[in-house]
Amino acid sequence: MNYEILKMDVAEAVAVVTISRPQAMNALNTRFFQEMDSLVAEIAGRDDIKVVIITGDGKAFVAGADIAEMVGKTRDDARAFSKVGQRTFRSLELLEKPVIAAVNGFALGGGCELALACDIRIASAKAKFGQPEVNLGLIPGYAATQRLPRLIGLGNALFLLLSGEMVGAEDAHRMGLVQKVVEPEALLPTAVELAKTIAAKGPGAVRLAKRVVREGILKDFESGCALESAEFGSLFENEGAEGMKAFLEKRKPQWNA
Distance linking the first and last C-alpha atoms of the chain: 27
Quote the distance between the C-alpha of residue 214 and its chain's center: 12
Q: Are 106 and 127 in contact (CB under 8 A)?
A: yes
**Is residue 1's pLDDT more than 90?**
no
Please tell me the predicted confidence (pLDDT) of residue 198. 98
Q: Is 113 a catalytic residue?
A: yes
Helices (H), the chain: 30-44, 67-70, 75-94, 110-117, 144-152, 154-163, 169-175, 187-199, 203-216, 221-234, 239-248
Catalytic-residue membership of 133? yes
Catalytic residue among 4, 69, 96, 113: 113
Angle at 18 between CA 12 and CA 21, to 5 degrees: 165
Q: Alpha carbon of 116 to those of 71, 102, 204: distances in Å? A: 25, 12, 24
Q: How distant is the alpha carbon of residue 252 from its chain centre? A: 30
Q: What is the pTM of this model?
A: 0.95
Inform me whether the pLDDT recorded for 3 exceeds 90: yes
Domains of the chain plus CATH, in order, are: 6-199 (3.90.226.10), 203-248 (1.10.12.10)
* C-alpha–C-alpha distance, residues 235 and 84, integer Å: 35
Q: Write down the pLDDT at residue 257.
A: 61
pLDDT tens digits for range 28-84: 999 999 999 999 999 999 999 999 999 999 999 999 999 999 999 999 999 999 999
Residues 134 and 132: their CA atoms lie apart, in Å, by 6
For the stretch 196-244, pLDDT in tens is 999 999 999 999 999 999 999 999 999 999 999 999 999 998 899 999 9
- Contact between 195 and 180 (Cβ < 8 Å): no
* Cα(248)–Cα(243) distance, integer angstroms: 9
CA 94 distance to own-chain centroid: 10
Mean pLDDT of 133-156: 97
From the list 12, 133, 165, 193, the catalytic residue is 133
Q: pLDDT, tens digit, for every residue of 130-140?
A: 999 999 999 99
pLDDT tens-place string over residues 37-49: 999 999 999 999 9
Residue 211 sits at φ, ψ, to 5 deg, of -65, -45
- The amino acid present at 14, given as its one-letter code, is V
- Looking at every residue in the chain, the average pLDDT score rounds to 96
pLDDT at 23 over 90: yes
Closest CA to 40 of 32, 214, 106, 4: 32
